[in-house]
Amino acid sequence: MGQGRIKVQVRPVRDFLAIVGATGTGKTGLSIAIAKHLEVEIICMDSRQSYIGMDIGTDKISKEVRKIVPHHGFDIRSPDESYSAGQFARDAASWIKEIKGRKCVPMLVGGTGLFLRAITHPIFREPEVEESRRRSIRELLTDLPRAKLEHWVRLLDPDRAKIAIQGGPQRLSRTIEVALLTGRSLSWWHKIGASDQKPLSGMVVVLEVPRGVLDARINNRVNKMAEEGLIIEVQGLLDAGFKVGDPGMTGTGYREIASYVEGLCSLDQALEIMKMRTRKYARRQVTWFKNQHEAGTLRVDGTESLEIQCSKILTEWTRTDGM
């Protein structure tokens, strides 16, 4: 009995295709190339590109291209508003459902690894807090030197201190903010806090580029941003009343150019610091994607032609039955 039956390999249904990697690896260009072969809608997975008025410094794709390939997640927050990984996961789950309902492939594109992890491993839903209290704490933390931020993180959330310190000023401030606003540490929330999302799974593609090539791309990108009007963009944001300590404005590029606009350094100094900090950030991204990848992750050489990169990804997507 049972002889002659054909064993069928059951593959999990994939909710999305994700193109991830460090700043400068070529994620945007690759995603548009893939869109020529697959019916996709793109979900921005960059924590800075969600902010209104921050286009040049975050290297947003042009509105003309967005008219050809539908994009989600751009320009949905003011620079003085928070946009957490948990909120992104909730938004992304909604977009993914809508996109699949249109018989298209949801394609997540970006370098914010925590956003991807929040989708595949949902995190707690943070309790509602008064925005005025949040802003007051942020203003206080903005003026504190990094050493003092690290000191308070070790006191308020020792279990998360190592991760927060590696993550830089924004993650340090976030760790302190959650503890002060909720009365519970961020570590406690991650362990005990309930999530209202179910985990999603997808095919993850990590773009990889040799360090020397990546550094050169980053340096060229910073120069290009300056040529395209980054100084004017930052001046406009400051004139509109936004501050360097606001959630959106803490990103690399905006802090450095703000220092130049405020007369604290020369433009050459600001651009060199911006390049250095972007290179350091890219190294942290590379480390994250080496250690946090999902099972079955496809790694692609970002120095190969777009044709070859697309071919590898589409072959794997088709081989595993895509969605």
SS3 annotation, 33-96: HHCCCCCEEEEECCCCCCECCCCCCCCCCCHHHHHHCCEECCCCECCCCCCCHHHHHHHHHHHH
DSSP string, 139-179: HHHHTS-HHHHHHHHHHH-GGGHHHHHHH-HHHHHHHHHHH
Is 243 inside any structural domain?
yes
**Do 31 and 82 fall within a single domain?**
yes
Alpha carbons 61 and 158: distance in angstroms, whole number: 39
**Do 114 and 131 fall within a single domain?**
no
Contacts of 194 (CB under 8 A, 6+ apart): 124, 125
Is 214 inside any structural domain?
yes
**Do 221 and 284 fall within a single domain?**
yes
> Are 71 and 46 contacting, i.e. CB atoms less than 8 angstroms apart?
no
Is 20 inside any structural domain?
yes
**Do 163 and 272 fall within a single domain?**
no
> Are 83 and 50 contacting, i.e. CB atoms less than 8 angstroms apart?
yes
Is 9 inside any structural domain?
no
**Do 58 and 132 fall within a single domain?**
no
Structural domain harbouring 206: 16-123+195-319
Alpha carbons 94 and 197: distance in angstroms, whole number: 10
Count the neighbouring beta carbons within 10 Å of the beta carbon of residue 127.
12
CATH number at residue 171: 1.10.20.140
Is 1 inside any structural domain?
no
Query: Rg (Cα) of the chain, in Å, rounded?
Result: 21
**Do 103 and 187 fall within a single domain?**
no
**Do 188 and 50 fall within a single domain?**
no
The mean predicted confidence, pLDDT, of the chain is 89
Using the 3D structure, point to which of 168, 194, 220 is the last residue of a domain: 194
**Do 119 and 255 fall within a single domain?**
yes
The model's pLDDT over 179-226, given as tens digits with 9 standing for 90+, comes to: 898 888 888 887 776 677 888 999 999 999 999 999 999 999 999 999
**Do 119 and 129 fall within a single domain?**
no
Is 83 inside any structural domain?
yes
**Do 267 and 143 fall within a single domain?**
no
**Do 134 and 203 fall within a single domain?**
no
Higher model confidence: residue 265 or residue 177?
265
Is 238 inside any structural domain?
yes
The model's pLDDT over 82-134, given as tens digits with 9 standing for 90+, comes to: 888 889 999 999 999 999 999 999 999 999 998 999 999 887 777 677 777 87
- Determine the 3-state secondary structure of 204 from DSSP: strand
Q: How many domains does the chain have?
A: 2
Is 161 inside any structural domain?
yes
